[in-house]
Amino acid sequence: MPDPASISCEDLSYAYPGEAEPALSGVGFEVRAGEYVGVVGPNGGGKSTLLRLLNGLLAAGSGTVRIAGHDPTTEPFEVRQRVGMLFQNPENGLVAPFVEDDVAFGLENLGVPRGEMRARVRGAIEAVGLAGYERREPHTLSGGEKQRVALAGLLALEPEILLLDEPTSMLDAAGRREVLDRLRGLRREKTILHVTHHLEELLDADRILVMNGGELVADVYPAQLISDPDLLARNYLVLPPLLRLASGLGLEAKKPRTPEDLAREIQHRSPRRTEAR
Ligand SMILES: Nc1ncnc2c1ncn2[C@@H]1O[C@H](COP(=O)(O)OP(=O)(O)O)[C@@H](O)[C@H]1O
Ligand SMILES: [Mg+2]
């Protein structure tokens, strides 16, 4: 039998208690092990609700959710072991007096033996680039550092799947970069579902899911999304200036580039070179 998909949803619907309108309706998709999949769409589109259903924080109203073949509501242990979730606010979840205790928190709850715990905590702190921060107090850290501590706490638990709910939206540019760099390093090892409002964070994703009004309205390659003005506009998605400029210049838009990269490409094509011939 082939391996079950890492994440699989079929005709998934959910309404919050007391709400007439469903927050999610008829959502179906699959994510294979090792894929990096983006999730975008306007506020209230159902992105966070979807992630909560995937990790078992909420139970499906109808339809099915499977995580490596397991149902989060009837097999919570199997699912919790495989799924780690990172939230928007880096303040949430940092509870312990020192960074190393925070990262160890989940492992302590699992009753992992001391020696193994120490090794896993050290490995996770190194993986997010915070070696030397073990005895720092979390409240003295920058937003990007706090978010990396939270990520280390997840990594220590060795999940196969990372669910990221706008993990960079409350960070400044430097903090965003730090967190994104660490996430990029994890792509080959983990299956990742990344909710974000920044399309440029998803240019090298394997696919992008677009959610609007509780429905999955598109499941496309990044290149398809950024070159489809109607799909973008219908879902209130705005291309960042760098992408608009590249696309206006007729350059391949999908390529991840910095403003400096783009400047070099423009210089390379500039009319002065033509005149000089
Ligand atoms: N705890 C809640 N109780 C009631 N309704 C909620 C709750 N959380 C979200 N909703 C509603 O569910 C819908 C989807 O919200 P959400 O999943 O948070 O969207 P997104 O993450 O895409 O912004 C929205 O209409 C929102 O108002
Ligand atoms: Mg949300």
* Ligand 1 pocket residue status of 48, Cβ below 6 Å: yes
Q: Assess if residue 1 is contained within a domain.
A: no
Q: What's the pLDDT at 242?
A: 85
Please tell me whether residues 183 and 73 are part of one structural domain.
yes
Report if residue 2 sits inside a domain.
no
Among residues 240, 237, 241, 238, which one has the least CA distance to residue 41? 237
Residues belonging to the chain: 277
Q: Which ligand is nearest the CA of 88, by number?
A: 2
Domain presence at residue 129: yes
| Residue of minimum CA distance from atom 27 in ligand 1 | 44
- Residue 27 has which token pair? 């959502």
C-beta 46 within 6 A of ligand 1: yes
pLDDT value, residue 188: 86
Residues 228 and 244 reside in one and the same domain:
no
Span from the CA of 76 to the centroid of ligand 1 (angstroms): 23
What is the CA(89)–ligand 2 centre distance, in A? 11
**Other CB atoms within 10 A of residue 271 CB:** 7
Would you say residue 55 lies in a domain?
yes
What pLDDT score does 275 carry? 53
Q: Is 191 found in the same domain as 259?
A: no
Give every strand in the sheet of 191-195, ordered side by side: 83-86, 161-165, 191-195, 36-40, 207-212, 215-220
- Per-residue pLDDT reduced to its tens digit, 139-193: 999 999 999 999 999 999 999 999 999 999 999 999 999 999 999 999 989 999 9
Residues 130 and 266 in one domain: no
Q: Are residues 222 and 274 in the same domain?
A: no
Judge if 218 and 93 occupy the same domain. yes
pLDDT at position 91: 81
**CB of residue 45 inside a 6 A radius of ligand 1:** yes
Residue 31's domain comprises 7-237
In a domain, 272, yes or no: yes
Same domain, yes or no, for 54 and 174?
Answer: yes
Rounded to two decimals, what is the model's pTM? 0.92
| Ligand 1 atom 25, closest CA | 44
Positions of the chain with pLDDT under 50: none
Here the CATH number for the domain that contains residue 34 is: 3.40.50.300
Ligand 2 centroid–CA 169 distance in Å is 11
Structural domain count of the chain: 2
Rounded Cα distance, 45 and 216, in Å: 9
194 & 78 share domain: yes
Q: How far apart are CA 30 and CA 3, in angstroms?
A: 13
Which atom of ligand 1 is found nearest the CA of 41?
22
Measure 273 CA to ligand 1 centroid, in angstroms: 54
Residues 154 and 271 in one domain: no
| Nearest atom in ligand 1 to 52's CA | 17
Q: Does ligand 1 come within 6 angstroms of the Cβ of 43?
A: yes
Residue 97: other Cβ atoms inside 10 A:
11
In what helix (H) or strand (E) does residue 48 lie, and over which residues does it extend?
helix 47-54
137 and 99 both lie in a single domain: yes
**In a shared domain, residues 122 and 159:** yes
- CA 233, chain centre distance (Å): 23
Q: Quick check: CB of 22 below 6 Å from ligand 1? A: no
In a domain, residue 122? The reply is yes
**pLDDT of the residue at 272:** 61
- Do 130 and 174 lie in a common domain? yes
Q: What is the pLDDT of residue 75?
A: 96
